[in-house]
């Protein structure tokens, strides 16, 4: 009787372990994923060593939006992950002039100069005119002078997106639910 009770306890422990591993696998594969920021390209908003949670589900139901911070595979090396902010969307034309970015699209045929309040005062953005095709995005780091981004390697295909940055968990003094700016 004692052996049967012992085996039953072992079996229950194995079941709990299998369910836990399966749950972690499914959550990490399809819902959320941790990401550790490395580098200064997103300062002052995200710093090297920040620990983030990435939402992998949202873009299965809607399109990316301007201002959202995303994690994606670097287009020329699928093993490398980058974090940047979406500035340009499919079908848009971007013009860089006097340190500002102006977006031309069907909603703004005369152009919308982006008010980038998430950048420190005095930050200037340089670049050349860009026209985005279907399924392309233009992404920039917030630390424009020290960011290797779409200005260097071109537009980003939407299929490269891993997910949307939703939450900064570390450091504890800077825990933050990340929201996109309103343009």
Mark out the alpha helices in the chain (DSSP H runs).
2-30, 150-153
Q: Which entry of 84, 147, 150, 155 is annotated as an active-site residue? A: 84
How far apart are the C-alpha atoms of 71 and 65, rounded to whole Å? Answer: 14
At CA 35, angle to CA 161 and CA 82, rounded to 5? 45
Is 38 annotated in the active site?
A: no
Collapsing DSSP states into helix, strand and coil, what is residue 106?
coil
Is 180 annotated in the active site?
A: no
How far apart are the C-alpha atoms of 177 and 169, rounded to whole Å? Answer: 9
How far apart are the C-alpha atoms of 148 and 161, rounded to whole Å? Answer: 17
Is residue 162 within 8 A of residue 68, CB to CB? The reply is no
Q: Which entry of 41, 147, 150, 155 is annotated as an active-site residue? A: 41
Residues with active-site annotation? 41, 84
């Amino acid at each position: 009787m004692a052996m049967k009770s012992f085996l039953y306890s072992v079996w229950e422990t194995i079941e709990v372990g299998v369910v836990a591993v399966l749950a972690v696998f499914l959550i990490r594969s399809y819902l959320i994923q941790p990401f550790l920021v490395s580098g200064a390209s997103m300062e002052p908003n995200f710093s090297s060593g920040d620990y983030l949670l990435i939402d992998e589900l949202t873009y299965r139901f809607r399109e990316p939006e301007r201002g959202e911070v995303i994690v994606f595979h670097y287009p020329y090396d699928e093993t490398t992950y980058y974090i940047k902010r979406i500035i340009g969307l499919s079908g848009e034309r971007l013009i860089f002039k006097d340190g500002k970015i102006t977006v031309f699209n069907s909603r703004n045929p005369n152009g919308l100069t982006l008010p980038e309040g998430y950048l420190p005062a005095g930050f200037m953005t340089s670049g050349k005119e860009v026209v985005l095709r279907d399924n392309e995005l233009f992404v920039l780091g917030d630390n424009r002078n020290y960011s290797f981004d779409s200005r260097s390697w071109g537009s980003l295909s939407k299929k490269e997106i891993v997910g949307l940055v939703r939450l900064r968990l570390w450091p504890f003094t800077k825990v933050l639910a990340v929201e996109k700016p309103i343009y």
